[in-house]
Chains A and B, each alone.
Chain A
Amino acid sequence: MFNLNDPMLYVFAAVVILFVLAQSVFFLMKAWKRGKELGIDKKKLRNVVSSSALFTVPSALSVLATVIALAPALGLAIPWVRLSVIGNLMYETTAAEAAMEAMGHQGGMAVPVSDPVIYAGIAWVMSLGICFSLIILPFVAKPLNKKFMSAGKKEEKAQSDDGTKKKRGLGGFINDHATPAIFIGLIGAFIARAIIGAGKAETFGDGAGVLSIITLVVAIVASIGFELLAKKLKLTWLEPFVMPIGMIIAMIAAIVFFNVLPEDIALLEWRG
């Protein structure tokens, strides 16, 4: 009888995870060394590490929740690998459903896969379906990255040669405004979804509603509040942690308001 919790499946998964971990440690060490060569203050680099770690924990827990959501049908090994390599909170559930259906698994996400042929097929579909970025990345990352870096530098040079800042070329735009504009587009998309986006009618929490607005507002107010506090009291150590703290406070607020508000208001999602 096929066992979804066969220890060998965990061994296979662990090998993949160890590779990911090793790669991250390698890049971290190289960037750290380069940072020191560039004269970036060690304290600043340490702050980047600690604030990034704090920023990651709540999201990592929600990724873990997705692993658990997939576990009844697939066990823990496949979701663990899929959410650790390329995987994405939003794609993996869809990918698992499509793979199960194509491989003839009856009962969907609630019924454990009991046939190793189906299990292997699902592993192939989920792995191949998501791997395209790794195929194209070695070809396009360098040219894209270089173009972006050099456009800004060319403009800077042109401006310093002229001794004027009046030119409004594409390079200057890329140098000063393209990155903020791209970031705002990205952040704004998720904020717009929290205000007016629709989810699945049967799922709580995936569409815009009372709770998503409350969470959003608390996150914004808390972040601004802590930012002002850090500046006013000159707490420079607090500045890198403003965003992670704002995020955690907003998630706590979601719990509090969910329990305090009447049920029909707390669960209200205006577009499903």
Chain B
Amino acid sequence: MSKKTEKSYFDRVHSWGRISSVTALCVLLMFPLSICLYYNVFPPINGVLQGLLKLIPTYWTVAVVEVIVYTPMLGAGGTYLSFVTGNIANLKLPCAISAMEGAKVKANSEEGEVVSTIAIATSAIVTTAVLAIGVLAFAPFLQAFTESALLKPAFAQVLPALFGALGAGYFIKHWRISFFPIIVMIIVLVFAPTMGASTLLFVGIVASVLGALLMYKKGWI
């Protein structure tokens, strides 16, 4: 395959991604606008700004960090899809990692790009379908299902289940670089037990990359 073809594929993905991101932003904002126009009501700007002031310092900072941290891992197509469909750290990224592991491809290869995009697109479609079916077809029974005493422990433990399953194979394969970041994060959590997921992720990723880089420079990995 020629370099030109490869380049043009990535360029095309970025063009589609840019268009779809801007369109998604417009579509997302059309939702509250449609509500305003349909009911002919316009909320006080002060109230909206007050609400935004509570969210923006955290959420917009997290957005910058997430874009920088996740983009290299998700690949081009996966990045645009993930940031539109959300639930990245708890669903899209683990799904992409799992798929790339299963297919035995590297994240920074074109095969990795393809596999990651297919995995994330599938995940987005399945999530959308589950939510749509749940909301539209089972609305009357939904609460009973998701809040049933029987299933509640499973929903409460979805993250340990997900990351335990994902981590098992990964830690065995990369055990040398796994100890340092986990020890760092446990120490961090001992002193700051309520640290938000995004901050902890950032600390974990920085510790992990620096630890691995040091080991690489020393020739240990």
Provided the pairs A27-B121, A67-B135, A71-B143 are in contact, do residues A138 and B22 lie with their beta carbons within 8 angstroms? yes
Q: Smallest Cβ distance from A167 to chain B, in angstroms?
A: 11
Q: Which residues of chain A from 20 to 60 have a CB within 8 Å of any chain B CB? A: 20-21, 23-28, 30-32, 34-35, 37-38, 40, 44-45, 47-49, 51-53, 55-60
Asked if residues A250 and B161 are in contact (CB atoms below 8 Å), the reply is yes
Q: Quick one: CB contact mask for A232-272 with B, threshold 8 Å, 1 for yes?
A: 00000001101110111011101101110000001000011
Q: Smallest Cβ distance from A66 to chain B, in angstroms?
A: 9
Number of A-B contacts (CB under 8 A): 576
Asked if residues A120 and B161 are in contact (CB atoms below 8 Å), the reply is no
11 contacts between A and B (CB under 8 A): A30-B117, A31-B117, A45-B115, A51-B98, A86-B28, A134-B83, A137-B18, A145-B10, A177-B212, A191-B167, A243-B168
Q: Smallest Cβ distance from A253 to chain B, in angstroms?
A: 8
Asked if residues A48 and B99 are in contact (CB atoms below 8 Å), the reply is yes
Provided the pairs A179-B107, A189-B201 are in contact, do residues A116 and B39 lie with their beta carbons within 8 angstroms? yes
Size of interface on B: residues with Cβ below 8 Å to A:
159
- Kindly list chain B residues whose C-beta atoms are within 8 Å of the C-beta of A195: 186, 189
Asked if residues A38 and B51 are in contact (CB atoms below 8 Å), the reply is no
- Kindly list chain B residues whose C-beta atoms are within 8 Å of the C-beta of A174: 108
Distance, CA A98 to CA B208, complexed state (A): 34
Distance, CA A187 to CA B205, complexed state (A): 9
Asked if residues B83 and A192 are in contact (CB atoms below 8 Å), the reply is no
Asked if residues B200 and A192 are in contact (CB atoms below 8 Å), the reply is yes
Distance, CA A182 to CA B208, complexed state (A): 6
- Kindly list chain B residues whose C-beta atoms are within 8 Å of the C-beta of A31: 77, 113-114, 117-118, 121
Q: Smallest Cβ distance from B103 to chain A, in angstroms?
A: 6
Asked if residues A40 and B114 are in contact (CB atoms below 8 Å), the reply is yes
Asked if residues A68 and B142 are in contact (CB atoms below 8 Å), the reply is yes
Size of interface on A: residues with Cβ below 8 Å to B:
165
The residue on A at minimum CB distance from B25 is A134
Q: Smallest Cβ distance from B5 to chain A, in angstroms?
A: 8
Asked if residues B59 and A243 are in contact (CB atoms below 8 Å), the reply is no
Q: Which of A16, A38, A88 contacts B111 (CB 8 A)?
A: A38
Provided the pairs A24-B128, A38-B111 are in contact, do residues A19 and B23 lie with their beta carbons within 8 angstroms? yes
Query: Top 4 closest A-B pairs, CB basis?
Result: A205-B156, A219-B164, A121-B43, A102-B51
Asked if residues A189 and B197 are in contact (CB atoms below 8 Å), the reply is yes
Provided the pairs A65-B146, A103-B43, A125-B48 are in contact, do residues A180 and B163 lie with their beta carbons within 8 angstroms? no
Distance, CA A25 to CA B81, complexed state (A): 10
Distance, CA A165 to CA B177, complexed state (A): 20
- Kindly list chain A residues whose C-beta atoms are within 8 Å of the C-beta of B50: 102
Q: Which of A179, A196, A247 contacts B193 (CB 8 A)?
A: A196
Asked if residues B73 and A90 are in contact (CB atoms below 8 Å), the reply is no
A107 beta carbon closer than 8 Å to chain B: no
A110 beta carbon closer than 8 Å to chain B: no
Q: Which of B111, B212, B217 contacts A181 (CB 8 A)?
A: B212
Provided the pairs A68-B143, A133-B83, A211-B156 are in contact, do residues A76 and B197 lie with their beta carbons within 8 angstroms? no
